[in-house]
Each structure stands twice: as C-alpha cells, then as structure tokens.
Structure 1
Amino acid sequence: MPSEQPSPSAGRHEPVHPLSLWRWRHNPLRRRTDRIQGWTALALLLLAPVLGLAAAFSAGDAARARYRAVAEEQEQTRHLLVATLTHDSPRHPEPGSDEAKKARYPVPVRYTAPGGETRTAETDVLPGLSRGSTVDVWVDARGALTGAPMAADEIRSRAMGWAVIAFLAVAVAGAAVYGVAALSLHRHNLADWESRWARTAPRWTTSP
C-alpha cells in the first residue's frame, strides 16, 4: 500500500491574533518569525499611543500658534462697519421657529469703505428685514466684505482638529508598519516551508 503523503499545506500555521500568548509560549510549532511578529505587535501597541499623543500635542500647538497669528493679522486689517439693506430680505416660511432664527438670506447692502468710497455688495442677513435696515459687516483692508476675525473658540476647534488628524495618522502608520512586517514574515514562512518541503518530499515515496 502506498504511504499517505502529507499535504504541503499541512505544516502551515492557521492565522492567529497577533497578540495571542501562543506566540510567546514554548511549543515545538512556534517559529522564530512568530516571536518576531508577536513582539512587533506588542511594541507597536505600546508605542503608537505614546507617539500619537506626542504628535497630537505637537500638531495642536503648532496649529494654535499659526491660527493665533492669523487672527491677530485679521484683527489689524479688518474693520467692523454698518451697512444698509437696499432690498427687503425674504421672509421665512415659519417665522419665529428655531429654523428661522438660524436662517440667513443673501441681500444687497450699501456701506462706506474705510477709504470713504460707497460700495454695494451682497451679504447674508436675517429673514424678514425691510429695506433701509442696518446690519454689521466686516470688511478687509481693500474695503471688500469678509468674515469676522477668528475667535478663540474657532482657533481652539481648528487646533484640536489638527491634533486629532496627527494622532490618527500615527495610528494608521503603526497599523501599516505592522501590516508590512506581518506580510514580510508570512512570505518568509511560506518560502521556508517550500524549501523544507522540497527536501522532505522525495522521502515520501510509494512502496514497491
């Protein structure tokens, strides 16, 4: 009777969790690459949060300083003026509702620029305002309508956004490093197994 030949895939390990204790326990099936993969996962698990927090604080501080400088420049170059509506603003379908309080409609307004020039532009105003009503507008150094200088809460929000992005970037980078390492080790294991099988297969022959 011919002896049964083992499948080439019989010696290959089934995928396990990267932090499974199996990678550290002493057993005859554990390979050196298993230990490397386990320690790589543990190192990244411990380092990623630390590096992520460091990157978050660094990015947040840098963004906060930059936006503060931008806000200071805006405060020096922007001016708050009073503009007059040249048309009635549309009425909201549900006057007095919460939605109406938040709604804004673009309406032409007239204002006098810092240089003394009378200008007409369009800005968003509350619904239901009649022609001749006045609203506050911000203009830049050239006299064009612009937004208000960045407030402290906006600076804080933007800085926090960059901090979160930096933290997530480190986390993604850590996952990518582990993925590349795991793939490289897996390929090494396959190549090693194929090499061992090539040496072992000739001995699994049929009996005469």
Structure 2
Amino acid sequence: MSGVIPHAQPPPDPRHDKPVHPQSLWRWRHNPLYRYTDRLQGWIALALLLLVPVLGLGAMFIAGGAAQHHYRAAAEHRKETLHRTRAVLTHDAPGHPEPGSAEARETRYPATVRFTDPDGRTRTAKTDVPPGLGAGRSVHVWVDKDGAIAEPPMPDAQIRSRTMGWALIAFVTVTLAGAAAYRCATVVLRRRNLAEWDTEWAETAPRWTTSP
C-alpha cells in the first residue's frame, strides 16, 4: 500500500447508529469518544443556561430602574421650568374624516391659538389640537420661559412604556450575548478537536496504511 497518510476523519455520529437517549445529550456523560473539550462545552452550555436568565432579569431591573428615574426626572424638570396655561383657538380646527373613531381620538391637527405668556403678554402660535374644535374653544398648552409653546412633560403612561421598552432591550441583549458566547466557545472547541484529530491520525495512520 502507498505510504501517503489519508486525511483524518472524525468518528461517526452515534446518533446515526441508534436512537438518541435523553442522557446522551449531556456532553459530560461518560463516553470513551468524548474529549475534555466536549465536556467543557457541556459545562459552558449549562453555566450559560443558568446564568443568562439571572443576568437578564438583573439587567432588566437595572435598565428599567435607570430609565424610569431618567424619564421621571426629565418630566419633573419640564413641569418646573414650563408654564401651563389656557389657549383659545382663533380659527376652527380641521375635522377628521371619521368623527368619533379611535383614529380620530388619537389624531391631532395644527391650529392657531392665542394665549398669555408668563410675562403677561398676549401671543399667538400654532399647536396640535383635537380635530373639529371650533374657534373660541380652549385647550391647555405648555409655554417655556421665552413664551414659546413647548412639548408637554412626558405622561406617566409614556414613562411606563419607555421603561418597559428599555427593560426588554436589556434582557434581549443579555440573551443574545449569551448565545454569541456559546457560539464562539463551540467554534473554538471544535477547531481544537479537529486539530487534535489530525495530530493523532498522523501518528496512527502509518500503522494502517504502510505495508509490512
């Protein structure tokens, strides 16, 4: 036979030869074909399976608490620096094509209003108002120190929504980081396994392929 050493081939997958037993899913189960890297991969999987939910929940509480504190502080600051006053429409606001619908209740149209700023001066400006309001109807607006209409402080419902959003983002981020860590570990360990198979096959193959 030729003295050329064939390429090393990994051992056959035992799943092709017999049904998969639930215990065979644990990589640290006793098996003569398993290497320490296989068991290491199993321990990494178990560690991540236990740690990711705990770290994810912790990240949710931390991110959610920080977001809630930030948005509430910003809302309180706007309440302290802005002035809430009553404004009167100078013209009729546009009507909605579907009065009384859910969309109509959420829709706002720009309209010109007249109001008094903190210095007592009468001003006119445009602000968003519900559809269908007639001239002379009043709405509340928030005015800054320069007398310009400003965005109102964030309501509690919006603060809760954004807080939950940041908490969810934190949990998903930790989960994806755990999945990425496991993927990197499996790639590194697999390359190490293949390199070891090549080395051992180079030592064993000559005894199989060389004629006596």
> TM-score band, normalised by the shorter chain?
0.7 to 0.9
Secondary structure at the aligned position of 1:178 is classed as: helix
TM-score under structure 1 normalisation? Answer: 0.85
2:117 — aligned with what? Answer: 113
Whole-Å Cα distance in 2 between the matches of residues 85 and 20 of structure 1? Answer: 75
2:28, 2:42 within 8 Å by CA — same for their partners in 1?
Answer: yes
1:89, 1:128 within 8 Å by CA — same for their partners in 2?
Answer: yes
Whole-Å Cα distance in 2 between the matches of residues 61 and 118 of structure 1? Answer: 42
1:148 — aligned with what? Answer: 152
Give the C-alpha shift of residue 108 in structure 1: 1.9
1:56 — aligned with what? Answer: 60
1:122 — aligned with what? Answer: 126
Q: Which of 98, 102, 108 pairs up with 2:102?
A: 98
2:140 — aligned with what? Answer: 136
Does 1:205 find its partner at 2:209? Answer: yes
* Root mean square deviation, CA, Å: 2.7
Q: How many residues align?
A: 204
2:10, 2:194 within 8 Å by CA — same for their partners in 1?
Answer: no
Gaps of 5+ in 1: none
1:51-90 equivalence runs, <5 A = 51-90=55-94
Q: Which of 149, 159, 164 pairs up with 2:163?
A: 159
1:11, 1:193 within 8 Å by CA — same for their partners in 2?
Answer: no
Does 1:9 find its partner at 2:9? Answer: yes
Secondary structure at the aligned position of 2:209 is classed as: coil
Q: Which of 180, 184, 196 pairs up with 1:192?
A: 196
Secondary structure at the aligned position of 2:179 is classed as: helix
